[in-house]
Chains A and B, each alone.
Chain A
Amino acid sequence: AQTVTQSQPEMSVQEAETVTLSCTYDTSESNYYLFWYKQPPSRQMILVIRQEAYKQQNATENRFSVNFQKAAKSFSLKISDSQLGDTAMYFCAFMKQPPRDMRFGAGTRLTVKP
């Protein structure tokens, strides 16, 4: 079974600074997707970014980027120019292909301080 580990239960960052959230996963699959989801206090799950395992290029979405190290099974999220609205729980997730089940990490609570 796939497992996803987020080793940082809580993190904080000053507004406008950069922060990196860590995620490692364990799988024997070769074809899979990785995701970062954000959950603000509203409880809504919001997709931040996704990465296809077969792509070597790291995904980017505006201020959000990932460092995908397939051999090391590592998938970290970098948030640049942090904003107060980035305060949320962040979940790393793994889905093998074809889509069957998505496994989530325990989450990292990020607080952006003014």
Chain B
Amino acid sequence: NAGVTQTPKFQVLKTGQSMTLQCAQDMNHEYMSWYRQDPGMGLRLIHYSVGAGITDQGEVPNGYNVSRSTTEDFPLRLLSAAPSQTSVYFCASSLRTGREGANVLTFGAGSRLTVL
């Protein structure tokens, strides 16, 4: 059982480049989400999804795009990277309400992104 797998673990980009952070889970979790972690600010929600084909914006969605074509995968796209997007990114997933273990987020190991 791999849990939540994020790739890559480290990435350096130049301003204006695009890239996709991959997130996959093998626990059949309906809920998936992306957070960014910046010093002194905790984790802030970028986008989330409650099921395949359904996505919504979180606290800091600007500059990021997501899609959810399958239950397992939830990629995060940076269309035109900016230095302000330098951060550590976490993907997390959970079951939905009403089921044992619901609402407890399982996190990936994180991806450190640097934009020069």
Contacts and interface: CB of A to CB of B under 8 A. Distances in A.
A108 B40 CA distance: 9
Interface residues of A, number: 25
A99 B58 contact: no
Contacts of A106: 40-42
A107 B43 CA distance: 9
A56 interface: no
Contacts of B109: 43-44
Interface in A50-103: 50, 91, 93, 95, 97-103
Given A91-B42, A91-B43, A106-B40, A101 B104 contact: no
Interface in B57-116: 58-59, 88, 90, 92, 94, 96-97, 102-105, 107, 109-110
Contacts of A11: none
B33 interface: yes
- Chain B CB count within 10 A is highest, among A44, A91, A98, A101, for A101
Contacts, number: 62
Contacts of B44: 104
Nearest to B94: A99
A45 interface: yes
A67 B82 CA distance: 42
B50 A47 contact: no
A33 B109 CA distance: 23
B90 A45 contact: yes
A105 interface: yes
B107 A99 contact: no
Given A45-B90, A107-B42, A100 B50 contact: yes
9 contacts: A33-B103, A35-B105, A43-B109, A99-B50, A99-B96, A99-B97, A102-B45, A104-B42, A104-B44
Given A35-B105, A93-B43, 15 more contacts: A45-B90, A45-B107, A47-B105, A91-B42, A97-B97, A98-B96, A99-B50, A99-B102, A100-B56, A101-B45, A101-B48, A101-B58, A101-B59, A102-B105, A106-B40
